[in-house]
Every structure is written in C-alpha cells, then in structure tokens.
Structure 1
C-alpha cells in the first residue's frame, strides 16, 4: 500500500517578504532569500564557501566538506548537488560579499559573524537566528 506523503510546511510569500523587509543587514536578507529561493537547508547555507557560487552559470554547488569549524553540514552527505538560482540572487550575493568580505575576513565561508568576539568567523548553526536549538 502506498503511503501518502504530506506536503512540506511552507510560509506564504507575503510572510517571507515581511521577514526580508525586517532584516537589519544585507547578510540576513541574503540568507533568507537564499533559503527561500533555493530550498536549501540552513546547515547547507552556512556550509557554503565563496567558490561554491558559479555566477556565470547562475548555480550554487552544495558539497560535503566533512566537519567544519561552525558545525554546519549538508543533510545528505552522499548526494552533493547543484542548485540553479536567479540573477537577482547572484547580484545579492555580490552585494553581500562586497560589503562584508573585506580584507579583514580570513575565511572563505560565505556567511560570517558581523560583530562580537568572533567577528568575521564562520557563522554557526548555534548562533544563527534560524537555529531552532534551545
């Protein structure tokens, strides 16, 4: 007997727009748009490196890199994949990198901490606003 799968829970586009509009910085805006437009998981997004973006092909490569300092990881390690993205998202990526990946940043992780003791270090799944850990 075939078991019916339930549809994934999603939020309406209007609520995503409200989230994006409420962002106080470009990093957070970029992260939410990336998750929304690519269907990427938070751990996958925080595991991205700058070289995973292929601007000319409008693609993002999701790869397993083993244990990372920010504890981010892809969910299914045996199946790296490539995600097609819009030119608008690629442009937002460039804007974000130009603003935050300055000479002071010594990591190729896309998402970095913007303040505090570990400023410019990879953003952790434990400190991300989208983390559901207690």
Structure 2
C-alpha cells in the first residue's frame, strides 16, 4: 500500500512541478527527536512526518519446531548430511561457516567448535562475520562428528 501511495505522490509532485496541478501538503510537523544525526544542523530541529504513510506490521517468521528438525535430520541418508544440518541447527552456523570448517577447528573433548576466518579455502566457502568465535555444542553432535570421521 505504501508503494502505491509513494508512486501516486511522486506523480502528483511531477505534475505540480510542471504547473498542471496544485501541490498537496501531506506532511505535518513532528516533534523533535533525541537522536541528532550527522546533518542535524540542516533542519535545525524541524522534522516532517508523512501523514499518508501507513504503519506496516512486521511479520513474525515461523521457525521450525524441534520435531520438524528431527524429521528433516532423520530423512538424511548420510552422516555427512546429518552432521551439516545438526551444525546449522544446534550451533546456529551459516552454510558458509559449516563448509569452511577444518579438522583442527573442532575440539571434541571440550565440545567446542572454533570458527576461524580464512582468506584461502579450497571450496571457496567463507565466514560472513570476519571474526573468530567459539561455539559450544552438545555431546550428541560431537559423537555424530566422531562417527562421521
């Protein structure tokens, strides 16, 4: 709805610049904000609010339930696929982070995974956040890892 309103208002603004339509004032003065941005001095505290803009409700993203995740993992035929899905679900890893793991990154006796950003990976998988971090996982995930090896 906001997109349609923006298109119509842009068209009316275009017509008013051509002189074929009297402009409509759809802005009202709004109260000042506590946050002062980089260009605050340009407006000097005068803020305008679009009256026609509708508030958009944020949709809540549906997440998988643990039962659904278990069904997906049980549907995997290889230990590699199960391990990848378990790392993503339990550790909250992105696919690039899982694919960039090396043997030295996983500490089985402490149930830890060290995510280390590397500039050169054979499979060209990279960690999005170029920051080293440690993730603690369950014993079941580590036993699945040792079974896979």
Larger Rg: 2
Structure with more of its chain in helix, by fraction: 2
Change beyond 3 A, Cα 1:61–1:6: farther
Change (3 A) 1:36 1:95: same
Q: Give 1:38 deviation, angstroms.
A: 0.4
The answer to whether the aligner puts 1:84 opposite 2:136 as a matched pair is yes
TM-score using structure 2 length? 0.58
Alignment partners' CA distance in 2, 1:9 and 1:69: 35
Cα displacement (A) at 1:67 = 3.0
Does 1:94 pair with 2:146?
Answer: yes
Aligned residue pairs, count:
94
2:100 maps to 1:47: yes
- In 1, the alpha carbon distance for the partners of 2:142 and 2:81 equals 15
User: Equivalent residue for 2:127?
Assistant: 74
Higher relative contact order (CA 8 A, sep 6+): 1
What residue in structure 1 maps to residue 87 of structure 2?
A: 34
User: For residues 88-125 of structure 1, what are the alpha-carbon distances to aligned partners after superposition, in whole Å with 9 as ceiling and x for unaligned?
Assistant: 1111100001xxxxxxxxxxxxxxxxxxxxxxxxxxxx
Structure 1 runs not aligned, ≥5 long: 98-134
RMSD: 2.2
- Structure 1: 4+ residue segments shifted above 6 A: 5-8
More strand by share: 2
